[in-house]
Amino acid sequence: MVEKFGKKFMGQELSDSDDDDDESSTKKGRMDDSYHFDADERREWRAKIREVISKHPEIQEEIDPAEKLNKMQKLLADYPLVVDDDDPNWPEDADGWGFNLGQFFDKITIKNAKKENDDDDDYDSEKEVVWQDDNYIRPIKYIKIAQWEETVFKDISPLIILVHNRYKRPKENERAWDELEKAVHIIWNCRLPSPRCVAVDAIVEDALASALKVSVFPEIIFTKAGKILYREQAIRTADELSKMMAFFYYGAAKPPCLDFIGNGQEMIPSIVIKS
């Protein structure tokens, strides 16, 4: 089925149907849907699908018994299933497993803690493995509409809102997220508390994006004490965003990218969820 799907969308069959699909999508686009694909975006995503499929050729099963045996022996050498507990090369932190679980995780450190005694009555499996997340502080956190009132109005500390849409200008949305994360790290490296940063997925939280009056994605909204200070729709670098944070929240000089902004402020909308 995967092979047929790939051939269908990589071959002439998809190309011939592009115009028909675009015509039908244009008709559907007349509906009142601000997140609907237009013809150019549909063509861009089709091209991306073809590109991804072309990068993953069909994987053939190893038929040669000798080659299959060599690969199996290499796997067993890298990840032994059985290890003699008297082996001098036995890892000190193995504690009966013969390998360290941390080798299978990225940015997660796992420490195998040895049991004090062998009394099964007092055994607690949660004490056996200690997890330490090296990246538990996330610069940007997703927010849902149910958390909006508490996030915005109960905590009046500086707040930056990134409203993004995974289907509208996906490259620009991804870059805006990355640059905002880097900007937060710049503030952290200056030993300053960064403003809170939250992300609103316009596809999932369409009512929230609509209440914020966001129609161009991505958009970064700088807020403080329940007021919107500035809306940024251009894709800014991390350095520019960090200088904008410093200006709005730390009393720094106004950066050149903000020379043309006015002094108008608008209130952050309050959203009441109907039960």
pLDDT for the residue 174: 93
Domain 140-257, classified CATH 3.40.30.10, yes or no: yes
Residue 159 burial by CB count (10 A; 0-12/13-18/19+): exposed, middle or buried? buried
pLDDT for the residue 30: 47
Q: Please report which residue ranges of the chain form alpha helices under DSSP H.
A: 2-10, 12-28, 39-54, 65-78, 148-149, 170-189, 206-211, 238-250
Mean pLDDT by 10 residues, the chain (275 residues): 50 49 49 63 84 71 83 78 62 53 52 55 53 63 90 88 91 94 92 90 91 92 91 93 93 88 80 68
pLDDT in tens, 11-43: 544 444 555 555 554 544 444 454 567 888 888
pLDDT for the residue 138: 81
- Alpha-carbon span 183 to 180, nearest angstrom: 5
pLDDT for the residue 88: 63
Which of these, 184, 187, 218, 185, lies nearest to 201 by C-alpha position? Answer: 218
Dihedral of alpha carbons 114, 116, 117, 118, sign: negative
pLDDT for the residue 63: 81
pLDDT in tens, 145-190: 888 988 888 888 899 999 999 888 889 999 999 999 999 999 999 8
Which of these, 269, 11, 35, lies nearest to 148 by C-alpha position? Answer: 269
Helix (H, G, I), strand (E, B) or coil at 229: strand
